[in-house]
Amino acid sequence: MALQRTFAIIKPDAVGKGQQGEILSRIHKAGFKIVAIKTMRLTKEEAGGFYAVHKERPFFGELTDFMSSGKIVALVLEAEGAIVKWRDAMGATDPKKAAPGTIRQDLGTSIGNNCTHGSDAPETAAFEIGYFFAGLELI
């Protein structure tokens, strides 16, 4: 399997509860290299640009409100098969349906408050990484 990069977010619900350390620990234990990391707070407009693919969906306003409600931790992760590996570590979007031992099953509380985000495909990862990080931050 090829070395790959993916994008991850520790969402406002997890940062607000002080869970970023636990999530970062799980990232390290899973064998990811953290290529880039930053803590920030998105504006509603920035969250809207990031989630533009969902603009026509009924949950878009709620999603952008939530993602701009507090600090996030944005990360670029690298590993063999990083996209699938990170999605497996996160678990299903709904914490109630996530596999035991996954981040969302252990730390998430609802579909909306599920602690983490991860790219779902190489094209998505490329867009998401570029949205948050400049080229010089990715060396």
Active site residue 28: no
Distances in Å between the alpha carbon of 104 and those of 43, 53, 90, 119?
24, 23, 6, 15
Coil, strand or helix: which one is 118?
Answer: strand
The span from the CA of 139 to the CA of 129, in Å, is 13
Catalytic residue among 5, 11, 104, 117: 117
Residue 107 to residue 67: CA distance in whole angstroms: 17
Reduced to 3 states (helix: H, G, I; strand: E, B; else coil), residue 10 is strand
Catalytic positions are 117
